[in-house]
Chain A
Amino acid sequence: EPEVTQTPSHQVTQMGQEVILRCVPISNHLYFYWYRQILGQKVEFLVSFYNNEISEKSEIFDDQFSVERPDGSNFTLKIRSTKLEDSAMYFCASRARLASGANEQFFGPGTRLTVL
């Protein structure tokens, strides 16, 4: 069964360093998302991406964040200068198509980011 994959599973970095989190969405999906979950808190939306551009972003997704789909399979989240408060689980998700109703999003296993 197709699934979303993410690498690395755990990333440890120093405050101020840049990190890139990688995702391979399900192959025929068109909509891509990043969410994050700080330990003990809700899953929070960061950004959605469609047709090679950002379609929607939250107030969390400031100038320190960027997303890219560098080729036909990968989807990346870059944090330019990490802060302690960026420590969280980051989930990638993908969705098949836009329809008149909602469509389910399938999530990857997550990358645990620890900023020291």
Chain B
Amino acid sequence: EDQVTQSPEALRLQEGESSSLNCSYTVSGLRGLFWYRQDPGKGPEFLFTLYSAGEEKEKERLKATLTKKESFLHITAPKPEDSATYLCAVQLPPNAGGTSYGKLTFGQGTILTVHP
């Protein structure tokens, strides 16, 4: 069964303390891997899409990387406003009929807390 696992479940950092979040997946024929940020009581906010192993994308203090089995979200010198739940999601290849409609399968998320 296709699966997306994120680790750690929770991460507490001091402001300025860099770290990485992990998303491992066991899907066949990944079409895309997505990172979202979710604040409490809000909808997921799109951050990055990665399509192929070796790809990297950056946005401010965040950098996402992708291998054939996992993705990392690196946070450099985080600030308290980076505190949120970070969600990883994968898009699977087309079904047997050859059509993909974009269904996302999410991991359980990593709750990041950055203390001042």
A contact set with B: CB distance below 8 Å:
4, 6, 31, 33, 35, 41-45, 48, 50, 55-56, 89, 91, 95, 98, 101-110, 112
User: Which residue numbers of B lie inside 8 Å of A, CB to CB?
Assistant: 31-32, 34, 36, 41-46, 49, 51, 87, 89, 91, 95, 99-109
Give complex CA distance A33, B34 in Å: 16
- Of A4, A56, A101, A109, which one neighbours B32 at CB under 8 angstroms? A101
A77 CB → nearest B CB, Å: 14
* In the complex, chain A residues whose CB is within 8 Å of the CB of B99: 55
**Contact A56 to B91, CB < 8 A, known contacts A43-B44, A104-B49, A109-B43:** no
Interface of A is mostly: strand
Q: Quick one: which of B87, B102, B106 contacts A33, CB cutoff 8 A?
A: B102
Which of A41, A43, A102 has most chain B Cβ within 10 Å? A102
Is the Cβ of B103 less than 8 Å from the Cβ of A108? no
Contacts of A89 in B (CB 8 A): 41
Structural contact, A102 and B31, CB atoms closer than 8 A: yes
CA of A104 to CA of B90 in the docked complex: distance in angstroms? Answer: 11
Q: How many angstroms between the C-alpha atoms of A65 and B106 in the bound complex?
A: 21
